[in-house]
A and B are shown apart, each in its own frame.
Chain A
């Protein structure tokens, strides 16, 4: 089976600094992949390249066997949706208006069921007529997630399973909404969407992702199922933290930091 998204030896150099180097990645429909790594490892840069926002200096990215730069923006948006980290809105759009932006050029009547479904999925029905800038950071983040879900649903209705990219989607959310959001993404993967999420919380990544991609200094350190990817040894080597890894009764691994004192970096 060919991959929905395929990146071949991706590198990007910005201002003489190599941010991402020779990354290969294949992501299939129905798969949820977490990208993890220390700060500055190139996670967001990699995601920006996968979204088509940033052109790689070398290598190529194929989305459904077609090179990303060859998609016109409107068509690309029907095949992949992306939630960015920080989105600020200058004008007093309501939550509902923001979410409806995900529906592109669909008429208001055609978009409404999708908008309603997405609002209830992120738990913001009560806020639909509130102006977005008056909401808390976490509520705004959820509104943008609803907008991205609408965009994904519109695209998938036309072209089948698409790609959902999430850049640290849980950064401003409380614990319950972190889990809600990741579970919603997980559900999408269950319906055939390919999901790629940059996550900081390794426990969340291990709990929900099929595969974990570990980036270190711009290079792909590990790409594997959670038990392969996350070991005490790799955490010590890459995050410079000692951890204990244990398992829940259901066999899901979880990780507990032992000490915050950094161990000597090896190189």
Chain B
């Protein structure tokens, strides 16, 4: 879709209802530049400030010999703390945004977000259960594999909640927005009650680990965790090719998608596994972080349109930008203390969501 002189006149107007969309490469390149920009800012800010001028030396990009006394400290801060953290924020943001976009396509509902409708809560409950289990006398043999067990448990918890949600909210191919949100609320309440029970029975050490999920934080980012996250994102980005067209056509409804040649059952299965897998792994790393999955795809639909072939990779990039930005704020607003990132994303995302809900109410009766 490139701009050209022979374009029909209405294409140039940006009247309401008409679409004036940038080309795919322009959108992706802009988002990539934004990610680099936010990443650079994130590198310089924090409890230990590293001015932009010292950045090349600390990153070992320049060897002009002007390395001062700060060099060793800068390098330590960057490579063992800040870069892993920024990378984690970027990957988790991308995972949350893609799973939000896929979930919205699956439920044909722009208000679907894994954190909002209990999928993240289900994952967090399962992760908390895994913590308590591996710390119990019965499960202590599994403690050595806690790092692998947590993401798996979170994935399983997310999968179960997504499937339950789909069963409840979808009747003969249609999802009611009201039933969907209420069912999500109820599922989140059940999962949170379960997590509350685990908190109640947990001892001090377990409690500290569980609290980490409830607040949502990226402070535990390490290179091994990134090594585990990155392949999941890679899988998600590859799998999007198999679901993108199907999700586009699914917007017409399940029956119409079938008439158009989409294997709807297969599409639903793949989508549910993708959403659960990406949400689960994100939750297992940094707890429940809400609203990224709703804000990023929604903003992008306004600009680049709803076609998933472009929406999914663009969402990944914008999700990364948003979470790296939010995390930078979280660790610099009240430095040297740190604000839980879940609070920040909710403070920005919840009013955004309410605004969308009000607009939706004007369009379709809830």
Contact = CB atoms under 8 A, between A and B. Distances in A.
Interface of A: 48, 51-53, 72-78, 81-82, 84, 87-94, 97-98, 101-102, 104-105, 126, 128-131, 133-134, 144, 147, 151
Given A84-B255, A88-B253, A134-B16, A105 B245 contact: yes
Contacts of B302: 92
Contact of B255 (A53, A92, A94): A53
Contacts of A77: 259-261
A101 B260 CA distance: 8
Contact of A90 (B11, B109, B255, B262): B109
A126 B259 contact: no
B263 A73 contact: yes
B110 A90 contact: yes
A34 to B, nearest CB: 20
12 contacts: A53-B259, A81-B259, A84-B256, A87-B253, A89-B252, A90-B110, A92-B302, A93-B305, A102-B260, A105-B245, A128-B8, A129-B8
Q: Does more than half of chain B's interface fall in helix, strand or loop, or is it mixed?
A: loop
Contacts of A78: 261
A131 B261 contact: no
B249 A91 contact: no
A89 B251 contact: yes
A82 B18 CA distance: 28
B252 A87 contact: yes
Interface in B272-308: 301-302, 305-307
A90 B307 CA distance: 12
B256 to A, nearest CB: 6
Interface residues of B, number: 31
B258 interface: yes
A51 B259 contact: yes
B68 interface: no
Given A92-B306, A134-B17, A84 B259 contact: yes
A128 B263 CA distance: 28
B264 interface: yes
Given A94-B19, A134-B16, A73 B301 contact: no
B307 A74 contact: no
B209 interface: no
A89 B363 CA distance: 12
Interface string B231-260: 000000000000001001101110110111
A93 B307 contact: yes
B331 interface: no
A75 B11 CA distance: 35
Contacts of B248: 93, 97, 101
A79 B50 CA distance: 64
Given A51-B259, A88-B253, 11 more contacts: A73-B262, A73-B264, A74-B262, A74-B263, A81-B259, A91-B301, A91-B306, A92-B302, A93-B305, A97-B305, A128-B8
Given A90-B251, A129-B10, A151 B256 contact: no
Contacts of B301: 91-92
